[in-house]
Structure 1
Amino acid sequence: MNQQLQDRLNQIPDKILSEDFLKSQGLGNEIGFWIFDYPAEDELQVRECLSFLGELLAKKHSRLKVVNLNLLQVVRDYLDQRSFTDKAIQMQKTKGDQALLKALSGPLHMDKFAPYFMEQSNAAEQDVILLTGVGSVWPVLRAHSLLNKLHALLGHKPLVLFYPGHYSGQSMSLFNRVPSDNYYRAFRLVP
């Protein structure tokens, strides 16, 4: 067990239950987007903590509406709804990964996918959105692209992205290996 990570994970409940967090106050009129970055090899430890966090919030803070969405499941549901899943699997088998990525770039364009995400998360009714599974959907879906599109749709609603990599406050690096475009609108949830 990574004790430093466990110490950071233990700070999450107090952070997301604070009034400043829930009302996105003290952010200099910025959006309420937060990133909890962690080493990818500690994914199972983070998942376990999120499971515990969900149970804790349901029992002790039931008034708070929190949704925990796994991006892999949301993408799968989206592709299933549009009848793309079987076609995508067949294309990957016959034409390869690059052809599949190109074919999915249209259906998974953020102008189409982000509204679906909002609907699936029932975002308007939530107090907090927790988002996981970023590593599982890469490179089909990029976290910075989704966050950029959700900015206009969510406004000041708090969203926490659990990110298997490093977030410097200026840019993200998935798995500490895959740099993404600069993204500076989110705050680190727990430094």
Structure 2
Amino acid sequence: MKQPLQDRLNQIPEKILTPEFLQGQGLGNEIGFWIFDYAPEEELKVREYLGFLTGFLQKKHNHLNVASINLLEIMRDYLAERKFLDKACQMQQQKGGQALLKALAGPMHMDKFAPYIMQRTNAAERDIILIHGVGSVWPVLRAHNLLNKLHALLGHKPVVLFYPGEYNGQSLTLFNRIPSNNYYRAFSLVP
């Protein structure tokens, strides 16, 4: 059984400020990808905490270059820059969600979207990358696909994915209901 959410959140700064974390090393010198999973109903508390955490890091550890990536915002910007956002909204209203998912499969493919995230956030230049908003972009974007592509682009750069669901070290279950493909390259940030 996991600790209460606030206790787990309070452990994050201690974990992400260690030399091992900042050097992008996981357990056994694996990649530095970490997942902080939480109950989906705690989403608003986690969002509030992320605001606190980024402010804390900017004030108390301003030598660190941190990217806080909201996937919904970056997806909106990505589609808007490609002149597809308004079309996507109209398509969803007129033809429904399945038609929209099919239409977005090409533009939102990770071979296109992940490099956009890298460029837009200067991720390669950052010391820590915090990714959140996974639940807001599902089913257009799947967390395991994003992490797989970012691993190829970031290597050992430390990344924390805030995940509204469960990660058991082998697979992700979004909203504690929707199983994903196995993903076993990341570690639990705070078990």
Distance 1:124 1:154 in 2: 7
In the TM superposition, what is the alpha-carbon distance from 1:5 to its structure 2 partner? 0.6
- Segments of structure 1 that go 5 or more residues without pairing to the other structure are none
Q: Does the 8 Å contact 2:25/2:156 carry over to 1?
A: no
What's the secondary structure of 2:157's corresponding residue?
coil
In the TM superposition, what is the alpha-carbon distance from 1:26 to its structure 2 partner? 5.2
**Aligned equivalent of 2:186:** 186
Does residue 108 in structure 1 map to residue 108 in structure 2?
Answer: yes
Distance 1:51 1:5 in 2: 16
- Residues 33/41 of structure 1: CA separation in 2 closer, same or farther (3 Å cut): same
**Aligned equivalent of 1:150:** 150
Q: Does the 8 Å contact 2:26/2:187 carry over to 1?
A: no
**Aligned equivalent of 2:94:** 94
1:135-173 CA-to-partner distances (Å, cap 9, x unmatched) read 000001000000011111000000000000000000000
- Segments of structure 2 that go 5 or more residues without pairing to the other structure are none
Number of aligned residue pairs: give it: 190
**Aligned equivalent of 1:136:** 136
**Which structure 1 residue ranges, 4+ long, deviate > 2 Å from structure 2?**
24-29
**Aligned equivalent of 2:28:** 28
**Aligned equivalent of 2:57:** 57
| Correspondence list, 1:37-48, <5 A | 37-48=37-48
TM score, norm. by length of structure 1: 0.97
What's the secondary structure of 1:101's corresponding residue?
helix
In the TM superposition, what is the alpha-carbon distance from 1:25 to its structure 2 partner? 3.1
The residue identity in structure 2 corresponding to 1:74 is I
What's the secondary structure of 1:179's corresponding residue?
strand
In the TM superposition, what is the alpha-carbon distance from 1:111 to its structure 2 partner? 0.6
1:20-61 CA-to-partner distances (Å, cap 9, x unmatched) read 100123532321100000000001111111111111111110
What's the secondary structure of 2:161's corresponding residue?
strand
Matched-pair identity in %: 72
Distance 1:105 1:9 in 2: 34
The residue identity in structure 2 corresponding to 1:173 is T
**Aligned equivalent of 1:162:** 162
Distance 1:43 1:141 in 2: 18
What's the secondary structure of 2:136's corresponding residue?
helix
Distance 1:9 1:94 in 2: 42
Q: Does the 8 Å contact 2:25/2:31 carry over to 1?
A: no
| Correspondence list, 1:62-77, <5 A | 62-77=62-77
The residue identity in structure 2 corresponding to 1:134 is V
